[in-house]
Chains A and B, each alone.
Chain A
Amino acid sequence: MNKTLKNPIVYILFLLPTILLYCLFMGMPVIQAFYYGFTDWDGLNPPIFNGIENFREAFTDSDFWLSVLNNIYFILFSIVIQLPIIIFLSLLISQVKRFKAFYKTAVFIPSILSTAVIGILWGFIYEPDSGLLNQFLALFGVEKIYWLSDKSTAMISILITNAWQWTGFYVVLILAAILGIPKDLLEQAEIDGATNWNKSTRIIIPLIRPIIIVVMLLSIAGAMKALDIVWVMTEGGPFGTTDVMATYMIKEAFREYQYGYGNAIAILIFIFTLVITGLFQWSTKNNERIEY
């Protein structure tokens, strides 16, 4: 009878389509990236093997490092500025009784919408002449600001849009963890006379430390992947000041026809992401599971 679930033909038939797609459209590109990354190739003529020349070029290419720096800004912004706001909002939602479900549902909305559409939407807001933001600031006598075309404001404008899209997503993650804390633990604290502030900082935040670390990890991974929002809002401009690694890769490959170099950058994105998330996980290792 047990033979039914040991039918090798059914097993193979059920696995094969997935494995084929997976190997072809994920496995092959990974292997090809590692091959073409070590070649000088314009995408048309046969690729010429040139060893680590592309990587040497990347390490001396100041435009590439500018794009790396922008990925780091993404990370810093999400951890230093966004995360405290996320925790604060989650705590607020967890403590109110009315509208709790409404708040949760509403804050999540931007994260399920198309980043391209959000880029267009915020383009309206940042529009220098008629945009909502400048019109609003004009009420306070602030002069016209060219948000997306001024070198000094373009990056921060993108970071704010990105934060607007993803804050609610992380709020919902953290909120679920807060609501998962056993009630009697918090009630006990209240009986002992803890204020809301004390309850939050001394009990809730330490208890949800694991999920906060997950949120930080997801933010880092998200920051390293940042691409559509930059492409839609500025295409990396003005003058490459908002380029992130992925947009720089695209420009080198599809606009400069440096496919070999583009693939080398793809490998670097891959390695940098693994190293940063690995380092982060290692540094938070003594992060024991919390049992109630």
Chain B
Amino acid sequence: MKKILSHIILMLYILIIIIPFIFVLFSSLKENNIEIVTDPWGIPSSLHFDNYVMAWNNAKIGTYFFNSFYISVIASVITLGFGAATSYALTRMKFINLSKFFYTFILFGLVIPTGSLLVPLYKLITDLHLYNTHLALIFPYATFALPVSIYIICAFMRAIPSELEEAAMIDGLGALGLFTRIVLPISIPPLVTVFILNFLGNWNEFVMANFYLSSENLRTLPVGMVGFRDAFNTNYAQLSAGIMFSVVPVLIIYSILQEKIIEGVTAGSVKG
């Protein structure tokens, strides 16, 4: 009997989490602002999927979606490639003291509050003539994700038994071959975790995207939506459709890879 009370409390909490999403889902299918305002809790009178089409084309959500997607993928791939190579050198190669130094040096990046770098980084971005290009986001995204990624990948690679490498070395593999043929394939689980975490982080990032870009066509999805909201005469049904475009991909990834995401986010944060 006691358990029922626990379930009631937990269900109430889940409700508090879900209600805003239900509201946005309903709003995204409603006819116009009037229907949203007069009947915010109601189920849409008829399903207006055209809001999605309008948001995608007219409100440029399609452009923003594409920008966000390819920036997030490229930055995550850079982090993944560099992070994996560095982790391999640091954990498997026999330069023990040097590796200790570099590992500590890189993990120091976890202590730096990245928000406080926003202003000095702006200067660097303009000096390198990257302002208002997507590289102004790709480089910082890729870099800021390196410390935690290297932490996660190193933890895994350190535990690989050296017998595997020894056998491969007898077969004549060099350091590069060991990396691509032996260590990388074994390390796929943490690499997937790292990639997904960084992708989500980049997909959601707002502040740098807001301040390092000025052209409307270059905007990412979060910035584009805040801009859309602040625009005169906002169409809330279309804005809600835009929110769905941002949230649904994340929810799909989460529903497939929830264990990995939870494990990765929590492992990374506890260290930081």
A164: chain B residues at CB < 8 Å are: 16-17
A-B contact count (CB 8 A): 264
Chain A min CB distance to B137 (Å): 11
In the bound complex, do residue B206 and residue A115 qualify as a contact, i.e. CB atoms below 8 Å apart? yes
Residues of A within 8 A of B205 (CB): 114
Q: A221-B113, A262-B119 are in contact. Are A32 and B124 (CB under 8 A)?
A: yes
B36 near A130 (CB under 8 angstroms)? yes
B207 at the interface (CB under 8 A from A): yes
Report if A106-B93 is in contact (Cβ < 8 Å); known contacts: A18-B106, A116-B226. Answer: no
- The answer to whether the Cβ of A263 comes within 8 Å of any Cβ in the partner chain is yes
Q: Is B146 an interface residue (CB 8 A)?
A: yes
Give the distance in Å from the alpha carbon of A212 to the alpha carbon of B76 in the complex.
31
B266 close to A7 (CB less than 8 A): no
Of B13, B211, B229, B236, which is within 8 A of A254 by CB?
B211
For A225, give its contact among B20, B115, B122 (CB under 8 Å): B115
Which residues of A, 208-252, contact B by the 8 Å Cβ criterion?
214, 218, 221, 224-225, 227-228, 231-232, 246, 249-250
By the criterion CB–CB under 8 Å, are B10 and A250 in contact? no
User: How would you classify the secondary structure of chain A's contact residues: helix, strand, loop or mixed?
Assistant: helix
Interface size on B, residues (CB 8 A): 99
**B37 and A114 within 8 A (CB):** no
Give the residues in chain B near A14, CB-CB below 8 Å: 85-86, 88-89, 93, 179
Interface flag for B117 (CB, 8 Å):
yes
CA distance A96 to B93 in the complex (A): 47
User: Is B204 part of the binding interface, using a Cβ–Cβ cutoff of 8 Å?
Assistant: yes
Give, as a whole number of angstroms, the nearest-CB distance from B133 to chain A.
15
Cβ of A146 under 8 Å from chain B: no
Q: How far is the CA of A179 from the CA of B98 in the complex (A)?
A: 39
- 0/1 string, B139-181, CB within 8 A of A gives 1: 1101110110010000000000000011001100111101100
Q: State which of B48-56, B185-193, B244-252 sits at the interface with chain A.
A: B244-252
Question: At the interface, yes or no: B233 with Cβ under 8 Å from chain A?
Answer: no
Interchain CB contact under 8 A, B13 and A120: no
Check: A21 CB closer than 8 A to any chain B CB: yes
User: Does residue B30 face the partner (Cβ distance < 8 Å to A)?
Assistant: no
Task: Tell me, in angstroms, the Cα distance from A96 to B174 when the chains sit together.
Answer: 53
* CB < 8 Å neighbour of B117 from A33, A122, A129, A254: A33
Report the minimal beta-carbon distance from B242 to chain A, rounded to whole angstroms.
9
Q: Are B120 and A30 in contact (CB under 8 A)?
A: yes
CA distance A190 to B170 in the complex (A): 57
The residue among B16, B27, B117 with the most chain A CB atoms within 10 A of its own CB is B117
Contacts of A232 in B (CB 8 A): 206, 226
- A: residues with CB less than 8 A from B are 1-2, 4-8, 10-11, 13-15, 17-19, 21-22, 24-26, 28-30, 32-33, 36, 43, 89, 92-93, 95-99, 103-117, 119-125, 129-132, 135, 164, 168-169, 172-173, 176, 196, 214, 218, 221, 224-225, 227-228, 231-232, 246, 249-250, 253-254, 259, 262-263, 265-267, 269-270, 273-274
In the A-B complex, the 6 residue pairs with the closest CB atoms: A114-B204, A116-B222, A14-B89, A29-B120, A116-B206, A130-B37
Residues of B within 8 A of A (CB): 2-3, 6-7, 9-10, 13-14, 16-21, 23-24, 27, 36-37, 40-41, 78, 82-83, 85-86, 88-90, 92-95, 98, 102, 106, 109, 111-124, 139-140, 142-144, 146-147, 150, 165-166, 169-170, 173-176, 178-179, 200, 203-207, 210-211, 221-223, 225-226, 229, 236, 239, 243, 246-247, 250-251, 254, 258, 261-262, 265-266, 269-270, 272
